[in-house]
Structure 1
Amino acid sequence: MYSTLATLPIRSMHIDHLASHIGKACGIVAVLRGVPVLAAPSPPVKSPSGAEAASGRSPVLLLPLDVMAEVGLREEDVYREGPRAEGFQDAVFKVATRAHDHLITAREMLKNIRTGQNPGHEYEHGGEAEHQHPEMTGDDDTARDLRRGFGVLLEAVPAQDYLSRLEAKNFDPFAVRSSWKLPWSIWRALKTQQI
């Protein structure tokens, strides 16, 4: 997201901060979306003669180890039992909550920036050289940059859509299906300038 904002060119620490929270949420959602694909064992490969060969990929579970340990989830149980593994849905819930917290923070920051207030908390990358923009001086610059770069921040909409559908399926990523409402949600977010 930073690269896309830089090509526009948008140089605002507040917009970078918003993009940081949205990017973290999108990354966490990508991990959750990948669980059914990566944790499922790959089907055996058949040779032209009909013999079965070992598949080239072993299943992988990318959930954070601290969360898995906290709920007592073992990778092997997920590989064997899928969503019925003990503690699996609890672990997914905890990880999804982290993503949702980032989206809530981004929404609050967006609201504060629009009203001319401080975004709400310090940016952890604020001291880094690539996030220092001395040529930007005021709230007018931030408001202008927010309007110009809002399309980049729309990445929050698919993440929120997935998290809502995951919650509706009781935090079972194997049961979540694509949403036909996503294009409408993106259009509405763009029109209302709300993520």
Structure 2
Amino acid sequence: MAIALSSIVSHNILSKAWLKRSVEARISDANQEGISKIEELERYSEDTVFTLLYLTLQAGGIKSSVADHVASHIGKANGLLLLLKSIPYHASRGGVVHVPFEVASKHGLLLERGRLKPEPSEELSNAVLEIASVASAHLNKAQELISGVPKEAAPVLLHGVAVQVLLDSLERVRFNVFDPRLNRGILGVSPLWFQLKLKWYAWRGKY
């Protein structure tokens, strides 16, 4: 894979700077002891998920500031929700969870150096709801810009469908990330339903 990426970068198909940005963000995240503000989560989501969407647009030769803007919002939303979904995994292994200290403090959630007990609580659900609301706002902004998105960019932006599915699944379990229903199928829904939803949005040219 490294050789393939090197070849792609050397032929100027993908930007080395954007690839580097994504890798460095993940390395930095692995070395930190907790997150202070929700803006840091948004920045991490942009540096990881959005960069991949941007590189996909770039690889397809799609040059559109509107598509880039939409990808930024979808990337942030997707990244935030995936970080929420990963909380049980990290908590059960004594790892740092992606709940900002300011959000945890606001809802009375006890974090010790970015770590929490691997169990559901009302405080955690309220914190998850707040972060999920930020993700929802990003998705709404992305959808508001749909009229200016080039047709060829729409398939890349179908990640927005996954964002909506996960938001719906979180709402269904009352934002309890420890609810086992979130791990069923794809993002809490049956694979068939997810595929049908993707095809429906793709057919309509939406995300």
TM-score by length of 2: 0.66
Match among 119, 123, 144 for residue 82 of structure 1 = 119
Matches within 5 A, 1:59-78: 59-75=95-111
Q: Does 1:182 align with 2:185?
A: no
Higher Cα radius of gyration: 1
Match of 1:7 in 2: 59
Highest RCO, 1 vs 2 (Cα 8 Å, sep ≥ 6):
1
Measured after TM superposition, the shift of residue 81 of structure 1 is: 5.7
Asked if 1 retains the 8 angstrom alpha-carbon contact of 2:101 and 2:111, the reply is: no
Identity %: 30
Asked if 1 retains the 8 angstrom alpha-carbon contact of 2:103 and 2:127, the reply is: yes
The two structures, once aligned, show a CA RMSD in angstroms of 1.8
**Structure with the largest fraction of helix:** 2
* Distance in 2 of aligned mates of 1:36 and 1:24: 20
Match among 74, 83, 95 for residue 31 of structure 1 = 83
Structure 1, unpaired ranges of 5+: 42-57, 114-142
Match among 169, 172, 178 for residue 173 of structure 2 = 169
* Distance in 1 of aligned mates of 2:167 and 2:79: 12
- Deviation per CA, 1:56-77, whole angstroms, max 9, x where unpaired? xx3321112221121121125x
* Distance in 1 of aligned mates of 2:117 and 2:70: 39
Asked if 1 retains the 8 angstrom alpha-carbon contact of 2:91 and 2:118, the reply is: no
Match among 160, 163, 175 for residue 159 of structure 1 = 163
Structure 1 stretches (4+) deviating beyond 2 angstroms?
A: 78-81
Letter in 2 for 1:62: H
TM-score by length of 1: 0.70
Structure 2, unpaired ranges of 5+: 1-52
* Distance in 1 of aligned mates of 2:97 and 2:110: 10
